[in-house]
Structure 1
Amino acid sequence: MLKFALNHMTVAKASFRDMVALATSLGCVGVEARNDLPQPLFDGMRPEAARDILAASGLRLLALAEVKRFNDWSNDKATEALALMKIAKAAGAEAVSLIPRNDNLGMGNGERQATLRVALKALKPMLEDHGLVGLVEPLGFETCALRYKAEAVEAIEAVGGTGRFKLVHDTFHHTLADGGPIFADHTGIVHVSGVVDQTVSIADMRDPHRVLVTRGDRLGNIDQIAALRAAGWDGPISYEAFAPETHALANPAAALRASMDHITGALA
């Protein structure tokens, strides 16, 4: 049985409590909370209260997002990361999300790899102190300083971070980065979304194109999940849709159920 999960971005307008209730009703194994939504994190409640709500619902807090531009390391970035880890630990999260810079800077060959290692080396003991995993998410955009999973894995292994750092395999970003190796053993979570717009080129795809996974999907979600599963991966598949039309769905439960049924059926 597939282990589905819900990233709060998919229902960005919902409160934390409503997002948890939706995930519970759909039989999800867990959720991902975010600090970049219009509403306060955990609806403004203490992280311990959020932990209790999740525990009562039988859900895992798979990750707390996010540390932005983590590979542009500085004292201020360390302070930001530490603050998020403290909240994550109090909320019972399993991981924090690490998002690379995406501003077309720090792109030089050699420079990219060096700055990534600096950040991972600094983050590793912080994560160990809080009992957390760092979820590293390469972004497939051409302006991202960490576009390829191979570079992430190389850096993780170089700093002795295997197991403490895991990859986010995002089906959208994997497609934008021209595919490549999947690194199932290094994968912590899979993010799924679909693109059904037939007019946009892959190079021009952006977050607002990302809807739920349906039969019209252009990203090859089914093939990517199948490849990961064939390689032995059996972790959570979390919906992360950014499209305004997804956020505006009148019945997100029905749409998500239909998408889950589509993925499950296609992989059967």
Structure 2
Amino acid sequence: MAIDPTRFCINRKIAPKLSIESFFKLVHRLGLNKVELRNDMPGGKVTDNLSHAAVKALAAKYDLEIVTINAVYPFNQISDALLEKAEGLLKDAQGVGAKALVLCPLNDGSAIADQETMAAMKQLAPLFAQYGIQGLVEPLGFPVSSLRSAVQAQALIRDSQLPFKIVLDTFHHHLYEQAEQEFEAGIDINAIGLVHLSGVEDSRPTAQLTDEERIMLSHGDLLNSVAQVQRLERLGYTGIYAFEPFSSLLDSWSEADIEREIRQSIALLQE
């Protein structure tokens, strides 16, 4: 494959110990120009202790585009607290110049009916429109997730007649047992707003995998993330691929380790 480097994005989860500026510097050194910020970093805030203007200025300094902020959770269980959280993150996104905000479904074993998920999206959509931010629904493949299927998520968005798109995550695709059966006939490539990439080498049963097992791509990746990307390219996907490892192993990585892992993962995708 030959994927334009401007389509690669680095999720801040890969660098839990770096300040925002150090993270931005690292991504810039790699010759990349896209990042994702998060609201679950050790500092507990999307911008750490920086103002929106300061983060926006740093992104401009290092020639970076802030693609998304992760994430509103649980978006499909609406409450006053959830709406307040969503609006706060939308203000963050608008303030730092992020293009989109990710929405993650309830993931505790509780079932949520499709109608309730659709109603939640319809209630959130005007807020997203007000702030000019793209909504990205990310199905989670865990057995306890209330929205596991990318095809189903797209159908709910389509039936709700909303401008949201989905995040397709190679880890969560692997975890959902019916994903392969549904995919080629059911997926709408044009309704994918972002693809998250990680790798897993742990051989425990798929249903037992957690975020802790998520590392970067490798030849031994059991998610077959490279093959998943090859298929997306073949089907005409032209959007962004964001690397999103989660393992606590990342806490011990130096900047040199992070750079090496990113370069190696990109090289695997470019073979």
Normalised-by-shorter TM-score class: over 0.9
- Aligned to 2:47, the other structure's residue is in SS state helix
**Amino acid aligned to 1:152:** A
Cα-to-partner distance string for 1:201-245 (whole Å, 9 max, x where unaligned):
111111000001011100011111111111211111111101122
Partner of 1:221: 225
Q: Does residue 255 of structure 1 match 2:261?
A: yes
1:212–1:246 CA contact under 8 A, matched in 2: no
**Amino acid aligned to 1:133:** Q
The alpha carbon displacement at 1:27 in A equals 2.2
**Amino acid aligned to 1:176:** L
The more displaced of 136-145 and 6-15 is: 6-15
CA RMSD, Structure 1 to Structure 2 (Å): 1.3
Partner of 1:13: 17
- For 1:101-116, what aligned pairs fall within 5 Å after superposition? 101-105=106-110, 107=111, 111-116=112-117
For 2:234 and 2:74, locate their aligned partners in 1 and report how far apart those are by CA, in whole Å: 32
Task: Pick one of 19, 26, 41 that aligns with 1:22.
Answer: 26
Q: Which runs of 5+ in 1 are unaligned?
A: none
Task: Pick one of 192, 212, 222 that aligns with 2:197.
Answer: 192
For 1:183 and 1:175, locate their aligned partners in 2 and report how far apart those are by CA, in whole Å: 18
Aligned length: 258
TM-score, normalised to structure 1, is 0.92
Partner of 1:183: 188
Partner of 1:130: 131
1:104–1:144 CA contact under 8 A, matched in 2: yes
2:140–2:147 CA contact under 8 A, matched in 1: yes
2:107–2:145 CA contact under 8 A, matched in 1: yes
Q: Identity across aligned pairs (percent)?
A: 31
For 1:33 and 1:129, locate their aligned partners in 2 and report how far apart those are by CA, in whole Å: 21
The more displaced of 208-217 and 247-256 is: 247-256
Cα-to-partner distance string for 1:38-85 (whole Å, 9 max, x where unaligned):
124323101121111112212111001111101001222111111110
For 2:253 and 2:218, locate their aligned partners in 1 and report how far apart those are by CA, in whole Å: 15
1:70–1:100 CA contact under 8 A, matched in 2: yes
2:15–2:251 CA contact under 8 A, matched in 1: yes
For 2:62 and 2:233, locate their aligned partners in 1 and report how far apart those are by CA, in whole Å: 27
Partner of 1:157: 158
The alpha carbon displacement at 1:145 in A equals 0.5
Q: Which runs of 5+ in 2 are unaligned?
A: none
- After the TM superposition, which parts of structure 1 deviate over 4 Å for at least 4 consecutive aligned residues? none
Cα-to-partner distance string for 1:77-106 (whole Å, 9 max, x where unaligned):
11111111011101101001111100111x
TM-score, normalised to structure 2, is 0.91
- For 1:92-103, what aligned pairs fall within 5 Å after superposition? 92-103=97-108
The more displaced of 16-25 and 202-211 is: 16-25
